[in-house]
Amino acid sequence: MAIKVGDTAPDFTLVSQNGSEVSLKSFRGRPIVLYFYPKDDTPGCTAESCAFRDQYEDFTSVGAEVIGVSGDSPESHKKFAAKYQLPFTLLSDQGDKVRSSYGAKAMFGLFPGRITYVIDANGVVQYIFDSMFDFKGHVEETKKILQKMKVA
């Protein structure tokens, strides 16, 4: 079953590009932008990740953290993050168990989907942006939501 706005984001623990285990619950108390993407170092995923990189200060200025998740290995994530100087955490969801727990569907049943969740400081999903091809939209739309959350 897919996660919806208003649901509590399922907790998980995955391995980061640095080899450390990272749990979603360790970020409680601040907003999270959790984005699932298909694959490291592909054109669309690079565009999306670099857009998050380029706007990263906008996210941190409102207290939010950005976390990327794909089925790639921690080693692949490490190379991808280094190549594009990504300042945020990338998590390895090999086997797509976390992706499945969020209901982040595959495109045409073949390619892992591209979906972003904005999770508030209490762990509740406030916004979902689901678009395979609007790479920069993931960044722009989530920034707008975070600004509204800051005001609220």
Residue type, 60: T
Residue 129: its pLDDT value, please? 80
**Angle at 72 (CA atoms; ends 67, 78), nearest 5 degrees:** 65
pTM, to two decimals: 0.89
Mean pLDDT lowest among 41-45, 84-88, 102-106:
102-106
pLDDT of 106: 63
- Are 15 and 74 contacting, i.e. CB atoms less than 8 angstroms apart? yes
| Catalytic residue selected from 24, 33, 34, 45 | 45
Distance, first Cα to last Cα, the chain? 29
Nearest to 66 by CA among 45, 92, 88, 81: 88
- List the domains of the chain with CATH numbers: 13-151 (3.40.30.10)
Q: What percent of the chain has pLDDT over 70?
A: 87
Among the listed residues 97, 22, 104, the one whose alpha carbon sits nearest the alpha carbon of residue 66: 22
Indicate whether 44 pLDDT > 90: no
For 10, how many CA atoms within 13 A lie in the half-sphere containing its CB?
15
50 is catalytic: no
